[in-house]
Amino acid sequence: MSVLARSVGNAFRNKIRTAAVVAVLAVAIGLALAMLVANQAVGAKVQELNASVGTTLTVNPAGGQGFEGGGEPLTTAEAETAASVANVTAVVGTKALRLQTATTADSSTATTQPGPGGGFGPGGQQATVSTNLMAAVDAGTLGNRNGSAGTTGATGTSGTTTQPSRTLPITATGIGAEVDGTGKALDITSGTGLGDYTASEAKALVGTSLAEKNSLTVGSTFTIQDKTFTVAGIFDAGTTFGNNAVYVTLPEAQTLAETPDELSTMIVTVNSMENVDSTKTAVQAALGTDKADVTQGQRNLETAVSSLDSVKNISLIAFIAALATAGIIILLIMVMLVRERRREIGVLKAIGARNRTIGLQFVLESLVLVALGSVVGAVIASLASGGIASALISSNTTTTAATTTQRGGGLAGAMPNGAVPGGGMPGGGMGGGQGGPFGGASQLLTSVTASVSPGVLAAGIAAVFAVAIIGALVPALLTARIRPIEVLRGE
Amino acid sequence: MIVVKDLVRQFKSGDRTIKPVNGVSFELEKGSLASIVGKSGSGKSTLLSLLGALDKPTSGDVVVDGVSLAGLPDGKLTEYRRRDIGFVFQQFNLIPNLSAVDNVMLPMEFAGVRKAARLQRAKELLEQVQLDPEKHSRRTNRLSGGEQQRVAIARALANEPKLILADEPTGNLDEQTGEHIIELLSSLSRDHNTTILVVTHDRSLAQKTERCFRLQQGKLTEEVRTGSRR
Ligand SMILES: Nc1ncnc2c1ncn2[C@@H]1O[C@H](COP(=O)(O)OP(=O)(O)OP(=O)(O)O)[C@@H](O)[C@H]1O
Ligand SMILES: [Mg+2]
């Protein structure tokens, strides 16, 4: 018979009461654990949002965006200016190219060769160059509509011949780091990156669908403007449009466009979510309002993050409250048990038990109750936490979630530098993106899945035990004040 | 080995104070077997609790083997109770949800005796007090009064104390079993030089002790033996 065995035995002395205590404890502990799981899930989501899209700014030439608009192009010097602004952690320059498939060698090349001469064509930004690649996206209605619009625009500079069926252009972007046009890291599914993105090299990253369409694998070659490029890697952007693209190094794109030092866009990464607004103003001021437009990539996500943050806070408070409740339950139960067993404690002292032996016995007894409560509570938590998390979130975001229907590429469409959203170039794609801001946010919110991870559960149970020990310590210390003479007193 | 000097213990009950022990002095040699008799409510249990360091006197002192209890801190008093004293309570005071053996093993556990050793000694002691072996592992709240009393005696003997204080150890026993317990106690005092002080209403037990005290109105007086039989 050891102290532990005695404690376990004492915990089950009154079985009905033990069952009641365990049930009450289980509810408190289960609630605490569910809240902790919800808190962790929401916290992870907030972090993910902040890390991926929340902290990037996009700089476009004033008056221009993507291939549209006018104004003066951005330069590498301006990229350095932006980089020197406080709280800016990185500036990545991109240079967009429009690749036009050379279907028939003579006529098409002639038509799509305004590069050197008519460099400042429709958007002033794009340089249209030829390629032997076929676009992975069919033109469809939107594409053909855009095509005719584009042709009209082009007629101004070079009298174009009629094109019966227009192939869609492919976007090639020169990038200064291994990120896509929005500043997100590229997901390279096979092969490698381009290595040094600041050096000119005839290597390229090709989107999965484009690679498939043209039967390209790592090591294959294709041409842009009669120059042979080797496929260094295949990436997956996650969207059909995003995968119909090519990335080359920034200097390479600038050379192809014959516009060295020119940038289509700069992606400015800010060190934290809180500094995004102030940094946006600072970058705008540093570059001059007449030179550049600074926009925040995911404006709408700020609201999403702040509502998630409040959910996170609520769940944290609820966790602490439930934990404190469990502690108080233990405290009261143990105070009751100590009072009830006054005489027995007196007996133990009378036959020579040390105060700490008796105190330990009571703490262990409370831990037995908490252990049982935790087991039942963990089961309750794993059943309830998913429901609790989604209930918390949906009650915070019903308005946003209800309003939108997700349209294809909604998120990409919302990104200013998604360059050419959807299937069509200037028109329809942007329209499709309108639903995006909220659509994207609600999608992110509903994807907060409160899965019960063993690590979080273990941490929660450890916290419960810590609280239980604190709760049991007070009554355990009270036993030290009980005098052995209690044995001679009646119950 | 035990010297009691002018011991007083008073209680406040309502507006008046009662003094069940009021200036008690006596000495006991090592290995002696003594008894205390007195009317119910005369203060016998109170006196015993003072000797066993369960309670603190209002004034006066108990000196055991030259050590004054009044000067000892609580930790030392616990050690004194654990090591030197075997107390048989009038109400037995066994731990109800533990078996007889576990109850007897408790003081040995507190004294740090190894598990196997204390189990063996507990069984021996229970045999010495004539508890049926099949009742050794029975929970003590399922034992009869007399059986509980014998378990309580076995528990008091567990750590081989040098002073046994027994409050009516034969009160719930039949004559024959009572005789046996008296025999057990007197053999301990003879063979192990254990000092034994028993409180009793049992005339036959009182007559078998070497010395007999009477507690009356807070004072202790030694009974003068008519015959010198032992
Ligand atoms: N804690 C206490 N508070 C007040 N009075 C007490 C207290 N403890 C004992 N007394 C009183 O002291 C007196 C002596 O009690 P004690 O238990 O010592 O008697 P006793 O001689 O053992 O009697 P019995 O033979 O019936 O066991 C009694 O009158 C009792 O009411
Ligand atoms: Mg008494």
Pair B37, B53: CB distance under 8 Å? no
Query: What pLDDT score was predicted for residue A400?
Result: 37
Size of interface A-B (CB pairs under 8 A): 73
Count CB neighbours of A320 within 10 A: 15
Q: Which of A233-242, A258-267, B193-202 has the highest mean pLDDT?
A: B193-202
Mean pLDDT value across residues A112-140: 60
Q: Residues A243-258: what's their mean pLDDT?
A: 88
Tens of pLDDT, residues A352-395: 999 999 999 999 999 999 999 999 998 888 777 666 666 666 65
What does the pLDDT average to over A238-243? 82
pLDDT tens, residue by residue, A434-475 = 333 333 444 444 455 556 677 888 888 899 999 999 999 999
For B90, the domain range is: 2-223
Segments making up each domain of chain A, as ranges: 3-51+304-408+429-490, 63-142+165-290
Question: Which chain B residues are Cβ-neighbours of A357 within 8 angstroms?
Answer: 110
Atom of ligand 1 minimally distant from the CA of B46: 18
Whole-number Å distance between alpha carbons of B206 and A122: 124
Give me the phi and psi of A247, to 5 degrees please: -115, 135
| CB spacing of A487 vs B109 below 8 angstroms | no
Q: How far is CA A25 from CA A19, A61, A322, A459, in A?
A: 10, 62, 10, 17
Cβ atoms of A464 and A32 within 8 Å: the answer is yes
Average pLDDT (B47-68) is 94
Instruction: Quote the crossing angle between the two packed helices A436-446 and A299-340, to the nearest 10°.
Output: 20
Q: Into how many domains does chain B fold?
A: 1
In this structure, is residue B92 part of a structural domain? yes
**A152-155, Cβ contacts within 8 angstroms, sequence gap of 24 or more:** A153/A121, A153/A122, A154/A114, A154/A121, A154/A122
Closest partner residue to A357 (CB to CB) among B83, B97, B110 is B110
CA distance A205 to A222: 11
Backbone φ, ψ for residue A315 (5° rounding): -65, -35
Nearest ligand to the C-alpha atom of residue B41: 1
A126 confidence band (pLDDT: 50, 70, 90):
low
pLDDT score, position A289: 82
Task: State how far residue B169 is from chain A, nearest Cα, in angstroms.
Answer: 15
Which chain A residues are within 8 Å of B105, Cβ to Cβ?
1
Using an 8 Å CB-CB cutoff, list chain A residues near B79: 352
pLDDT one-digit tens code per residue, A335-351: 999 999 999 999 999 99
Neighbouring C-beta atoms of residue B163, cutoff 10 Å: 21
- Token couple for A20: 């009641």
Residues of chain B in contact with residue A349, where contact means CB-CB under 8 angstroms, are 78, 81
Residue B13 lies in a domain: yes
**Distance (Å, whole) CA A171 – CA A95:** 10
Q: What is the 3-state secondary structure (H, E, C) of chain B?
A: CEEEEEEEEEEEECCEEEEEEEEEEEEECCCCEEEEECCCCCCHHHHHHHHCCCCCCCEEEEEECCEEHHHCCHHHHHHHHHHHEEEECCCCCCCCCCEHHHHHHHHHHHCCCCHHHHHHHHHHHHHHCCCCHHHCCCEHHHCCHHHHHHHHHHHHHCCCCCEEEEECCCCCCCHHHHHHHHHHHHHHHHHCCCEEEEECCCHHHHHHCCEEEEEECCEEEECCCCCCCC
Phi, psi for B48 (deg, rounded to 5): -60, -40
Name which residue sits closest to atom 18 of ligand 1, judged by CA: B43
Best mutation site among B10, B42, B93, B172 for ligand 1, i.e. most ligand atoms within 8 A of its Cβ? B42
pTM, two decimal places: 0.66
Quick: pLDDT tens for B109-130. 999 999 999 999 999 999 999 9
Q: Check residue A391 and give its pLDDT.
A: 65
| Residue B163 belongs to a domain | yes
Residue B229 lies in a domain: no
Q: How far is the CA of B89 from the centre of ligand 2 (A)?
A: 9
Q: Is the pLDDT of residue B55 over 80?
A: yes
Q: What is the pLDDT of residues A391-410, one digit of tens each?
A: 666 655 443 333 333 333 33
Residue B113 lies in a domain: yes
Give yes or no for a contact between A457 and A381, defined as CB atoms under 8 angstroms apart: yes
The domain spanning residue B23 has which CATH number? 3.40.50.300
Q: What distance in angstroms lies between residue A475's CA and the mean position of ligand 1's atoms? A: 29
Q: Give the helix/strand (H/E) hosting A267.
A: strand A265-270
A138/A31 Cα distance (integer angstroms): 53
Interface of chain B toward chain A, CB-CB under 8 angstroms: 45, 49, 52-55, 75, 78-79, 81-83, 87, 89-91, 93-95, 97-98, 102, 105-107, 109-111, 115, 155, 159
State the nearest Cα–Cα gap between B162 and chain A, in angstroms: 14
Cα atoms in the Cβ-side hemisphere of radius 13 Å centred on A351: 31
A171 three-state secondary structure:
strand
Listed in sequence order, the residues at least 6 apart from A296 whose beta carbon sits closer than 8 Å to its beta carbon are: A56, A57, A58, A276, A280
Evaluate whether residue B228 is within a structural domain.
Answer: no
